[in-house]
């Protein structure tokens, strides 16, 4: 396997983790909505939390527009993740944008876990899986940057 192929594989693995995380976030939201009582930790925190807060405050305040706003904002974040996945295939800079979005997601999660929510063991699992996704996104972004710097003449000579 050439160095270029190794870098391309790292990018593909990073993108695959991004897609899986996005899909599992949708599964978590659907599980919550249909009261299936399970949560998958390999997911984004922000879209689920926005959905949950919209749902909760629409019930508490009796304003269904809050629920609609929660759905819309949650869907927007998920759409960004999907766009990032699909667009990063031809424009790898999108992977950097998805890393930034997921870092923001992680910061919000840690902030809420440490300041608002009552701590429980599942939070540790969430943090560990966020670290996993961050690792692969960072790995993919580093591979993109190395791929850009890779001289094509040297790469062609190595493959012959």
3-state SS, one letter per residue, for the chain: CCHHHHHHHHHHHHHHHHHHHHHHHHHHHHHHHCCCCCCCCCCCHHHHHHHHHHHHHHHHHCCHHHHHHHHHHHHHHHHHHHHHHHHCCCCCHHHHHHHHHHHHHHHHHHHHHHHCCCCCHHHHHHHHHHHHHHHHHHHHHHHHHHHHHCCHHHHHHHHC
In 3D space, the residue among 100, 71, 97 whose CA is nearest the CA of residue 86 turns out to be 97
126 and 119 Cβ atoms separated by less than 8 Å: no
Q: Which residue has the tokens 């996104």?
A: 137
For each of the chain's 160 residues, which pLDDT tens digit applies? 899 999 999 999 999 999 999 999 999 999 999 999 888 888 999 999 999 999 999 999 999 999 999 999 999 999 999 999 999 999 999 999 999 999 999 999 999 998 887 778 778 999 999 999 999 999 999 999 999 998 875 445 444 4
């Amino acid at each position: 396997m050439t160095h270029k192929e190794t870098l391309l594989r790292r990018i593909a693995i990073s993108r695959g983790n991004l897609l899986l995380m996005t899909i599992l976030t949708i599964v978590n939201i659907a599980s919550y909505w249909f009261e299936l009582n399970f949560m998958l930790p390999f997911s984004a925190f922000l879209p689920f939390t926005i959905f949950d807060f919209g749902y909760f405050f629409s019930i508490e305040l009796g304003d269904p527009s809050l629920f609609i706003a929660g759905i819309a904002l949650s869907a927007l974040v998920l759409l960004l993740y999907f766009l990032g996945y699909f667009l990063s295939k031809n424009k790898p800079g999108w992977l950097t944008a998805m890393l930034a979005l997921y870092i923001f997601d992680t910061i919000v999660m840690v902030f809420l876990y440490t300041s608002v929510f009552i701590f429980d063991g599942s939070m540790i699992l969430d943090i560990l899986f966020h670290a996993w996704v961050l690792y692969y996104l960072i790995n993919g972004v580093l591979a993109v940057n190395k791929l850009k710097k890779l001289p094509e003449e040297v790469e062609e000579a190595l493959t012959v």
